[in-house]
Amino acid sequence: MPGAAARGARRPAPGTLWAGRAGLCGPREGRAAEASQRTERKAVRGVAPPRARLAGSPGPLHSSAPSLAAPGLRAPRSAGFPWRACPALAAMHGKLLPLAGLYLVQGLPYGLQSGLLPILLRSHGLSLTRVGMAKGLYTPWLFKLAWAPLVDRRGSPRAWLTLSTGALGLACGLLAAVPPAPADHVGLPTTVMGLLLLLNLGAAVQDVALDTVAVQLLEPRELGPGNTVQVVAYKLGAALAGGGLLALFPNLSWPLLFLLLAATYCLAAVLAWTAPALRQLPWPQPSEHTHLLQDLMAVPGTLWTAGFVLTYKLGEQGAASLFPLLLLDRGASAPELGLWNGFGAVACSIVGSALCGALLSRHWQPLALLKSVLWLRLGGLACQTALLFHLDTPGASLGTSTALRGMALVSLCLQHFLGGLVTTATFTVMMHCSQRAPRTLQATHYSLLATLELLGKLLLGTLAGVLADGLGLHPCFTVFLMLSVLPLVDLGMAPSTLA
């Protein structure tokens, strides 16, 4: 029947988001949306002239002739935009879009100082020693716990986020007016060092405030997509500031760079203050917590989560810091390795994070997903170790074997892809644990977990070379394999409160 065919054509596809299949809109909301549209379609069909339908023509909801609809009745506004039929999905989009922009901006300082700033300083004639000493400007990041209680107890997270982002714009504007290295100066001027230190201080405060906003804003079912946005946007921001700007503007000068960053931060501060989703955050209540560490440890699941985030990256970071250098020693070309370990690694990590968010949005439990991905990561690291052992045999070289070189580069990208999956799932667990803390402790609680997570990643990344020189490569990578088993053992002891 033509009418039945038209009704079938108008029925939502099985994967339509508002039907609740993707986990973004509950079954009750999806059924309500469907019932609402069926009622409107019946009303329109009840007044439409039967002769107006031709065989194979669309129904009155989709007809271009306005005379086919009854006076005063309009087609459902959600017909072309399924998310409008699901308030939960629309609300989540309203949260994720500003968070994506703010996390993108949050990644800029890291990329600036790890990739772009050393190149600019070196191009202005500073010695390698002086450029290396600029890493000491990261110090404020190690003391996030010192001001996290202030974000919890004094003012709203939205106000802290807006002020810290605006302060970053002010610092960048001042840096644009100060030359990095005058002709008669052999190092960074004191003024530039002070402004860069303030830039890191503002970025660290912004990090605490933005994480607090995310913890308080996202609902439990939104943690998967929310943490995907966090990780992916942060990595894109770091990649943009770490080299993307130089690629886009080969002759980018110091003043122009910081003027662009200042304008970006000012726009982000306006976004933080005016975004409707962020304006609904409540003002914090006076805190009654006097024994801070004891109160933090009393939050259900904190002790286990702290131990897990401290150890889950040990083996991965140790291998990732050494494997590219060892491939270079065994015949891989520097340009090819730089491409795959730079752009390829970031791209694969972003794809892994996006896939994790998609799986979590389809009702995968973070701990169950972590267990599966950690087993895959362990298998990938075992294959990587076996390949490295083979390259140490006489006659094996990446320079003469296309197959070995391809396997090495695929192994490198695969580990970054799995690392993106693991990181996003772990951040989801961290945020889920911090949401169980009282609102006046959530910023401090999440900062504690994030600091431990950073410490665990830096620990093996820093000591990997020492282990390789002291133990040798084969024992060193065996240790990395054993360390990669630890998070799997930890998952077996995960508390039921985090399931």
Per-residue 3-state assignment (H helix, E strand, C coil) for 59-104? CCCCCCCHHHCCCCCCCCCCCCCHHHHCHHHHHHHHHHHHHHHHHH
Would you state the pLDDT for residue 120?
62
Confidence of residue 399 (pLDDT cuts 50, 70, 90): low
Report d(CA 440, CA 154) in Å as an integer: 10
The model's pTM? 0.67
**Position 490 pLDDT exceeds 50:** yes
Report CA torsion sign: 374, 376, 382, 384: negative
The residue among 113, 173, 120, 107 whose CA lies nearest residue 139 is: 113
| Residues 277-319: tens digit of each pLDDT | 888 777 666 555 555 778 888 899 999 999 999 999 999 988 8
Nearest-10 crossing angle of helices 144-153, 442-471: 170
Q: Which two tokens stand for residue 22?
A: 């993707």
DSSP class of residue 62?
T
- The DSSP secondary-structure symbol of 18 reads G
pLDDT band at 47 (very low <50, low <70, confident <90, very high): very low
- Residue 23 backbone zone (phi > 0: left; psi -120 to 50: alpha; other: beta): left
Percent share of the chain, pLDDT over 90 = 23
Q: Is the pLDDT of residue 368 over 80?
A: yes
- Using the predicted structure, report yes or no on whether residue 267 has a pLDDT greater than 90: yes
Average pLDDT value for the chain: 76
| Higher pLDDT among residues 247 and 20, named by residue | 247
CA distance 281 to 283: 7
Q: Which DSSP helix (H) or strand (E) runs through 110?
A: helix 108-111
Single-letter code of the amino acid located at 70: A
Q: Which of 27-36, 76-85, 328-337, 424-433 has the lowest mean pLDDT?
A: 76-85
- The pLDDT assigned to 457 comes to 83
Of 117-131, 146-160, 448-462, 468-482, minimum mean pLDDT range:
117-131
